[in-house]
Structure 1
């Protein structure tokens, strides 16, 4: 808006006159701005449609044969074991007795007075080594020298070496003990510790197995008894917990595993052992997870209703047209999903499975009827849902990946053109307003001159009358 033009000389309400004239001049711009707002609303509406349609397609994808079928495994006692099932599992009941779970080996050293006590005698050999091996893994050598020759230093060096054991220090009341625990369960993952005190790279020499210096940590049993206790060899550390395999009986067959996670015993079933069953036998039931299937069906129904409500809102009604009323994409999508309940897929319809649509277009699921159909003929249910989902997937992808984004892009390009035209109009209107103000300003000045001349003539006439009256 330009500088105010007041009409000082003429007394005219110039500002009101200019405002009125400019309102007329701005009408094309106002119409253009309304058109831009309309296109923005269409883009937003298409965004809502795209979101609802994507959710609907995702719900369909979960109904395909590779996704809808779920199996579940239920343990009679989750404190003893938990179980889960993949789609490859077969329905069955398993009787399981857990004799013992797999455990890790734990060993500890003799007691030290303080955590800062030296472990190795470095007076003769300043650099010595520990070599740790767990099961069949590669042995790991750890250097012990003046920099780490304390109970704490040795503990830290072992933990830094990633040798398959975890080291800690425990004060049991008689002193500080170095405690080593294997990180892997099972009898095959027992710990071996060998010592090289004289630096000759030969471990377990006679001097490397005595009970002095670094040799106090040597642990290389030659054999174990039936309970997993070391009975021969070098045993300078004490075993406080034996490495054991998990042992259980499944349907009369004894199973032994190094781990408490059993994923290769029963096809498609994963079992996690927690503790022994104290001599009792418990069951694990593997069956079709109907709750999961019902949940997916309910999600499909919800997505359908959400999409239908979005389409209804975008199309509008007889009294109020929606932002996408008459849009061919909206009408096409509506037609695609409207017949979903009536269409037959492999000889079965959604109606046969308890799905219905009321007069308002709202879909619902009769879970009792669906469960009955699923129980009596699950194969036809799975086949029908898979066929329906597959048949709708391609056309829906066409809308989601191409038709809707392309239309949004077209509207955005139109808006760019409108915006440019609007800026050009604003510039022209500004020039028009400035021109009007100049014209009114000139008019005001001309009127002022005329008014001044009129006043002068009036004064002359008055003077002439005055002269005439004095004679």
Structure 2
């Protein structure tokens, strides 16, 4: 039987071309299935865009749901005596800071020894600090060089660090002990070297003693003393780092621009969401084509919920709605903002504005409600996940249908191929018979003519 590559040889007909046309016609049955699957995929992508826009609105609302968002401050320093970090707890005001003394640590050195690696003999070192803490270190004769003693003290990690200094003399190597912390609590109060050859080799040099000192400063005339050059609590919510002695003025003001920016960010995020929503649901009268999610019930539910929140009222002593704050809900669903009114509220009624957005009690402010509502739409098990899950199920069903139709087409084409091959063989046989008969009749005619 002839194969598809030789179809038409026996009959002279273009059976291969005809089979290709039939296969193309059968494959056309797959096109609407592919288009349907693509439409589902396009809707899932559209829901993804919508979810991304909603997440941005939720983030913007979350930035207004914490009362701390309205307590931001900014600082201004004049002078180089201090640097600082301020928190939202810092009170607004002016602070005159004068640093008269920086904290420093204490230290003391021994007299020198000729060889830093030579054994000094077994012994011990006992060190007491100003706060009563003590360090006790013992070394045996085999590990009693100046370097060994230094390492043993450092390994003890008791608030004192040891080092070796070369003073260039005949016995140059001195053991230097320094407190790791500043202030009188960390003062090296006493150092005792154990008896024996160890004690004979190491002797403190009193002339090298450096006393610890506490930091001293005044804030608005109030005297403050600190064990370290990092001072916390001198000004509420502020950490001061004392860089040098001198005077500095700190001005703490409310960060009104930052608060206004958070409110504007919410409006921008909401309007971006509305823009995405419009693109995905609008009907183009010129082209007659609707948006990907036009008429979708999930989208209508989301749009309705957010509009009710934006245009609804809230039980608040000062403000009951966004309209009271200078927000206006436009016909197209977007928000416009009276920036001058918001600026005035931030400057003069910040507490009431904070209560409206963040609430007096947890989760009862406008921003809290908005954040919660969007969470129910975008979180696991929410409206968007349910919608996309249904579409994913439809895609799986469509893929199975595609495979079934594809198999049916393959079976149909194979049947056509077999039938065409049989037809080709039959016509070839008929042609052969016709040729034979023609030859016989021609031969018979020739005989009769003789």
What is the TM-score normalised by the length of structure 2? 0.84
> Contact between 1:75 and 1:83, CA under 8 Å: does it hold in 2?
no
CA 1:168 to 1:40, structure 2 compared with 1: closer, same or farther past 3 Å? Answer: farther
Q: Trace 1:337-352 onto structure 2 (pairs within 5 A).
A: 337-338=306-307, 342-345=311-314, 346=316, 347=319, 349-352=321-324
Decide which of 155, 159, 163 is 2:158's aligned counterpart. Answer: 163
1:14 & 1:137 partners in 2: Cα distance?
107
Matching of residue 51 in structure 1 with residue 59 in structure 2: no
How much does 1:47 deviate?
1.7
Q: Trace 1:261-410 onto structure 2 (pairs within 5 A).
A: 261-277=230-246, 280=247, 282-319=248-285, 320-338=289-307, 342-345=311-314, 346=316, 347=319, 349-356=321-328, 363=335, 365-386=337-358, 387-401=365-379, 402-410=382-390
Cα shift readout 1:302-357 (whole Å, capped 9, x = no counterpart): 32222122212221333432222212222232233346665454325445545456
Cα shift readout 1:76-107 (whole Å, capped 9, x = no counterpart): 23632233433333322222211122223343
SS at match of 1:83: strand
2:215 & 2:66 partners in 1: Cα distance?
36
CA 1:152 to 1:294, structure 2 compared with 1: closer, same or farther past 3 Å? Answer: farther
2:431 & 2:327 partners in 1: Cα distance?
89
Q: Trace 1:130-169 onto structure 2 (pairs within 5 A).
A: 130-132=125-127, 134-136=129-131, 138-145=133-140, 148-169=143-164
1:186 & 1:56 partners in 2: Cα distance?
51
CA 1:437 to 1:132, structure 2 compared with 1: closer, same or farther past 3 Å? Answer: farther
> Contact between 1:195 and 1:209, CA under 8 Å: does it hold in 2?
no
> Contact between 1:133 and 1:164, CA under 8 Å: does it hold in 2?
no
Query: RMSD value over aligned CA atoms?
Result: 3.1
CA 1:57 to 1:139, structure 2 compared with 1: closer, same or farther past 3 Å? Answer: same
2:403 & 2:53 partners in 1: Cα distance?
36
SS at match of 2:10: coil
Q: Trace 1:2-401 onto structure 2 (pairs within 5 A).
A: 4=5, 6-72=7-73, 74-77=75-78, 79-112=80-113, 116-118=116-118, 121-122=120-121, 125=122, 128-132=123-127, 134-136=129-131, 138-145=133-140, 148-171=143-166, 173-174=168-169, 175-191=172-188, 194-195=191-192, 197=194, 212-213=200-201, 215-216=202-203, 238-240=208-210, 242-277=211-246, 280=247, 282-319=248-285, 320-338=289-307, 342-345=311-314, 346=316, 347=319, 349-356=321-328, 363=335, 365-386=337-358, 387-401=365-379
> Contact between 1:354 and 1:365, CA under 8 Å: does it hold in 2?
yes
* Structure 2 gaps, min length 5: 359-364
Q: Tell me the residue number matched to 1:201.
A: none
Once structures 1 and 2 are overlaid, which stretch shifts more, 140-149 or 450-459? 140-149
1:307 & 1:180 partners in 2: Cα distance?
66
How much does 1:73 deviate?
5.2
Decide which of 460, 464, 467 is 2:440's aligned counterpart. Answer: 460
CA 1:11 to 1:348, structure 2 compared with 1: closer, same or farther past 3 Å? Answer: same
SS at match of 2:209: strand
* Structure 1 gaps, min length 5: 199-206, 219-234
Once structures 1 and 2 are overlaid, which stretch shifts more, 40-49 or 140-149? 140-149
2:441 & 2:354 partners in 1: Cα distance?
112
2:48 & 2:73 partners in 1: Cα distance?
38
Decide which of 421, 425, 438 is 2:405's aligned counterpart. Answer: 425
